[in-house]
Amino acid sequence: MSEEVGRDTHLATFAGGCFWCMVKPFETWPGIKRVVSGYTGGRVPNPTYEQVCSETTGHVEAVQIEFDPELMPYAELLDVFWRQIDPTDAGGQFYDRGSSYKTAIFYHSEEQRLQAEESKRRLAASGRFDRPIATEIRPAEPFYEAEDYHQGYHHKNPGHYNRYRVGSGRDAFLRDHWESPSR
């Protein structure tokens, strides 16, 4: 479960609904070495996309991020994560429904767990949402990279990616809840 990958590189793992939508918000920050789409939290080794979508493996779609904590502290990654999701939705995210689209923070160390719990407490106390925060905080589990066609999807299929974000309701929700000056 160690968060350290290399001497200067750590791991963070976040489930935020469709993993296509979780790569782009992280990849351009300083200190981000790699963002990979994949599956975690389930009971079947090396699941396929079709197996995960069948809702029979227990996995969620997630991203795993290799980062330099000197350039991009974990607390800042948490802030980026919260601003990509509806943390009050326990049934999936936006258009995507079901357990494979639930939100979760998978911590790789006790320090990450404490920071994640504190960030969740702050968000709950902020008054930004009128429902309880449903995002789970769980220990990291084996992470399986998704098939190649899912990696960097927003680069490979930008038209479909952009239509998906708008059509799913994600962009409107994020704009209304994170960019609105009244919140």
- Active-site residues, by number, are 18
Backbone dihedral region of 28: left (phi > 0), alpha (psi from -120 to 50 degrees) or beta? alpha
Q: How far is CA 51 from CA 46, 104, 146, in A?
A: 10, 20, 11
List the structure tokens of 21: 């939508």
Q: How many CA atoms does the CB half-sphere of 125 hold within 13 Å?
A: 6
Q: For residue 115, give the H/E element and its range.
A: helix 110-125
Joined tokens for residue 108 = 């790789």
